[in-house]
Amino acid sequence: MSTRERLIEILGELVAVPTAYPPGDTTALCALLVPRLEALGYRVAVHAEVPGLDNLVATIGEGAPHLVFNAHADTVGVGEASSWQTDPFVLTAKGDRLYGLGSSNCKGSMAVQLWLAEEIARRGGPAKGSISFTFVTDEESLGPHGMRFLRESGVVKPDYLFLGAPTSNALITSERGVMWVGIETFGKAAHAGAPDTGDNAIERMLRLAAVLERELFPKIAARAEGALRSTYNVGKFHGGHNTNVVPSRCRLEIDRRLLPSETVDGAFAEIVAALEGSGEPEGSWQAELMRGTNGFSSPRDGAVVQALSAAVILVMGGEPHFLDAVGASDGRWFADDGIEIINFGPGGGSEGHAADEFVLASELEESAAIHLDFVERLLGYAGK
């Protein structure tokens, strides 16, 4: 069986097992893969912080350096089934395109990594250090029960982290941090016919928002590192219960994307500082850090980027292409660990999260060859 045929076979098996979020249940998929990886000689364990959200870790070799591959097994939902021209759970080939739910994001990368696991075992494992494959869930929800859980519980401690992602075999070496902030204002309810007897929480929020728009947001919008930009987005605004009542509460939520040089603590502090300068009475508002992870930037001359770039040049015959990430990956949980992190894999970002999702068979094959050469350059193979 050729490499392309084997990759298509593996991907077909993965697509056939539903893992859509919600709920992102991966028990059936892990049950399929555990015996297969154990038969290859991997030390395999399944870890779950929440029942049904299973995360598989398979390791070969010993000690450092520890190279960790990752791909998330959960997908988005089918959506409107009538929007699909093919069965979402049956991998369907039309020319170079392979259609199926998750084929691009992110079961294509998962198929490449499973193929790679077979090839590494066939070559006797790494010549030095150890390699782990982590197939996780709870990524589509930006949740904590997948890769974050593996890190926080000490199950996964990489020296190098290689995340499968639909990058069309381009390299993502930098990723912005993400922070969500909630702001609440408080007032006093009253009849709308006598508004002066109350204290309007929505009006207070409008004043605070105006301060942010005037004093802080222009500074944020001016920040950049290369093509990466620092951004803000007011994503939610809610206040009041009835039109004829002076509202006593109002809530606004902000999404902040942080440059690798920015920190969650610093970004939250500057929002609070701007609000404190608004002149609104103490106790009439509060700011809440809902969630936040810092960004990361791996050096272009680091071991991972150098080895992967050389592999891309060998397989594709040209210089590697670097992309700037728009969203956030599971690499963010390791952003403060001082390790090299990279996103790379087959499939395009525009093909995922849509009906008739597909990945190119040629990209799968190219990606597999790049992965195989990358591991040889970074750690070598014991059987050679």
Same fold? 3-175+295-378, 177-292 = no
Averaged pLDDT for residues 63-78: 97
CATH of domain 3-175+295-378: 3.40.630.10
Domain boundaries, the chain: 3-175+295-378, 177-292
Which of 98-107, 257-266, 332-341, 348-357 is predicted with the least confidence, judged by mean pLDDT? 348-357
**Residue 194 burial class via C-beta count within 10 angstroms: exposed 0-12, middle 13-18, buried 19 and up:** exposed
Give the closest residue to 353 by CA, choosing from 129, 74, 38: 74
Tokens 């190279």 label which residue? 67
Give the Cα separation of 252 and 284 in Å (integer): 14
DSSP E strands, 160-284: 160-164, 174-175, 177-186, 190-191, 224-225, 228-229, 231-239, 245-246, 249-258
The correct answer on CATH 3.30.70.360 for the domain covering 177-292 is yes
Averaged pLDDT for residues 326-339: 93
Give me the percent of the chain exceeding a pLDDT of 90: 94
Q: Reply yes or no on whether the pLDDT at 383 is more than 90.
A: no
DSSP string, 83-111: G-SS-TTS-EEETTEEE-TTTTTTHHHHH
Q: Reply yes or no on whether the pLDDT at 338 is more than 80.
A: yes
Over the chain, what is the mean pLDDT? Answer: 96
Give me the percent of the chain exceeding a pLDDT of 70: 99
